[in-house]
Amino acid sequence: MIGRVISGRYVVEAVVGTGGMAVVYRAYDKIKKQTVAIKVLRPEYESDEEFVRRFSREAEAASKVSHENIVNMFDVGQDGDLRYIVMEYVDGQTLKEMIRENGRINPDQALRMTIRILAAVDHAHRNGIVHRDIKPQNILVDHQGRVKVADFGIARLKASQTTQIDSENGASALGSVHYFSPEQARGEVADEKSDLYSVGVCMYEMLTGQVPFDGETSVSVALKHVQEEPKSMRLFQNGISKALDEVVMRALCKDKTRRYQTAAEMAADLRKTITHPRGGFVKYPQDEEIQERQRETKKKKHPRERRRGRRVGTVLAAVASAIALAVGGWYLFGVYGRAVVPYMVGQRQSDALEALDQAGLPAAVETAYSEEYDAGVVISQSQTAGARLRAGTSVTLVVSAGSQWFYMGNYVGGTEEEAQAALAGSGAKDVTFQYIQNSQVEVGTVVGQTPEAGYQSKENPVVITVSGQSVAMPSLTGLTLDGAVALITAEGLRIGSITEGYSADAPANTVIAQSVAPGAQALKGTTVDLTVSQAPETMFYPSSRFTVVVPLDGLEVEVKLIAPSGGETEAYEETLPAGTYLIELSSAEPGVHTVCVYLDGVPVDTAEVAFE
C-alpha cells in the first residue's frame, strides 16, 4: 500500500495504526495539500457483510459529529475493492501509549484531559450517537496536549438496534473487555451511561496506571465488571484527592441509574474537585425501590417506637421553645447596644446586605470564584451567625463570582463577530484580538486562538488571531497634524506617538516623518507614529567674527559655549591641519557668551563674545 495513490488523490506514506478490521495510514491529500489519516478496510473483510456494515456505520457516525475533541472525518469512498475513510491526522500518540510511558498521569492533567474527553462524548450523545468503545487506545493526544476521541467503529445511532459480533470465544459483547460496562458484559443494549462508565475506567487507569478489573481471560474480566466493586484509587496513589476518587467511583457504579446520567453532569463534578478536593458533594440518585422500602419501614414502626417518637417530638418542641427564648434574649440584648449576626451563606448578595443593614452592621464585600454557589450568592461571612457584636462592627461577605472555568469554543474558521459574541458572555477577563495578513481566507476570519478549545480559567489571557484587512499607507509628509490624523483615521489606522522635530524647510506643525513608509501595506488597526515640525527657533550670532589659530597639523579643535543662563553647549569639534580658521557660532540666547577653545583637550583660549 505504501506509495499507492487512492482515488487519484491520496498518496499513502506510512502505516500509523492497525485494528481488527482496518489499517490506518498516513497519507498526503494532493488536492487540499495536507497530511491526512486514511482508514482502509482489510481486504479479507471486503466480502463480509457484517464488517462492511460496521465500516459504513463508522463513516455514518463520524459524519454526524464535528467537534474540536473528536477526530474529524473529511471523506469516505471506495477505490475498486478498497473501502476507506479519510480523517484528520493527529500527530501524537494514544492515551494508552502515554500511560505506558509515564506509568500514570498526574491528577491535574488527567482531570483536564478527561473533561475534554467528556466534551467529545457529550457532543456525540447530543447528536444521537453512543460510542460504545471508549478506551485509551481510541483517544489521541497530539504534541500540544490536545485530546481527540477516535474510532467510531462500533458506534450505535440511538435510533438503531444494537448489533453484536461473535468473537472467537463465542462472546457477544461489544467494546473492549477492560473498558466496557456491566450491561455490555451482559450483552445488553449500551447507552450514554455505558460510555460514561468507560470514561470512568479510562480515568481510573490514567490516575493509577492500572485498570480497575483485570484477569487471565476476557470472561473473568467481564464477570468482575458485573460482580465486583472497584477498589479505591487512593489505595494505589496518595496524590489522588478524595473528591476525584468519589467522582470516578460514581462513574463506575454497576447500576447505571446511579451513575452520572450525562457527560456534562460528570464534567461539572470533575471541575468541582478542583476547589473541593475533600469531596462530599457527589450525590447518588435514589431509585424507586429504595424510596419505597424507606416508606414501608416508616409504616411498620412498632407502637412503642411511635410513642417514643412522640416523646422525642415533645422534647424537640421544648428545645425549640428554649431556642426561641434564647433568640428573643439575644434580640433584646441587641436592642440595647448589641447586634446579632444573621446567617447569610447561600443568600443573594442584596438580601444579605439588607439583613446586615437591619441589624445595624456595616458590610464589606469581597468576591471569589466558586464551583458550588452561583454568581452573586454569599459563600462565607467573617462573623459567625448568631454572634453578638457591638453595633457598627463591620462584617465581610465573600460573594461568589461564579465558576472559575468557562468553555472556550473552537472559533478558528468562524468570523471575528462570532468569536466576540461568544467570549463576551464567557467571563474571560483578558481577551485580545490581533490581526495578521492572510490571503488564504476572507477578511474577518479567525485563523488562530490561544488557548485551545476546552474548559479554561477565566484568568487565562485569550488571544484571537484574525485575518485583517490591509490598506496602502498614505503619504502624510507635509500635511498638518489635524489633516494627518483625519486621513489615518479614515483609512482604519490608529495614531500612535507624536514627537516634535526640526526641519529647515517644513512649515511649523506639519508632518515630517511617519513610522510606516508611504505605499506599504498596513493592517487596519495598525498604529502609526508621527514626527511633527516645530516652529523654527530665533537664533543669535556673534557681533564679530570668531577665529581659531591651529599651530600644528592634526590637532583636535573643540569650541564650547557658555550662555548667559549658564547652559553649556558643544559648538564645534573637528581635527584640522595647521592654519587660521573662521568658526561659525550660533546660540538660542542673546547676550555675552563665554567661548572656550581646546586643542587636543587642552584649554588654550577663553573669550567673552556678544551674541545679537
Active site residues: 133
> Looking up cell 440584648, which residue turns up?
333
- Please name the residues in contact with 391: beta carbons below 8 A apart, sequence gap of 6 or more: 334, 337, 338, 339, 360, 361
List the one residue out of 71, 82, 64 whose CA is nearest residue 23.
82
Q: Beta-strand (E) ranges in 409-461?
A: 431-436, 446-450, 454-457
What phi, psi does 569 have (nearest 5°)?
-130, 155
Residue 396 Cα distances to 367, 379, 431, 539, 554, angstroms: 10, 11, 31, 67, 81
The dihedral through the CA atoms of 466, 471, 472, 475 has a sign that is negative
- Listing from the earlier edge strand, what are the strands of the sheet with 92-94? 92-94, 139-142, 147-149
DSSP code of residue 261:
S
Taking each helix axis from N to C end, the angle separating 263-275 and 242-251, rounded to the nearest 10 degrees, works out to: 170
Cβ count within 10 A of residue 210? 16
Residue 545 CA, chain-centre distance (Å), reads 74
Residue 593 CA, chain-centre distance (Å), reads 67
Cβ count within 10 A of residue 38? 29
- Whether 591 and 610 have beta carbons less than 8 Å apart is answered as yes
Calpha distance 509→483 (Å, rounded): 11
Long-range contacts of 290-293 (CB under 8 A, 24+ apart): none
The three grid cell numbers given for residue 440, joined into one nine-digit string: 488564504
Cα–Cα–Cα angle for 382, 384, 390, rounded to 5 degrees: 85
Calpha distance 37→151 (Å, rounded): 12
Calpha distance 444→432 (Å, rounded): 14
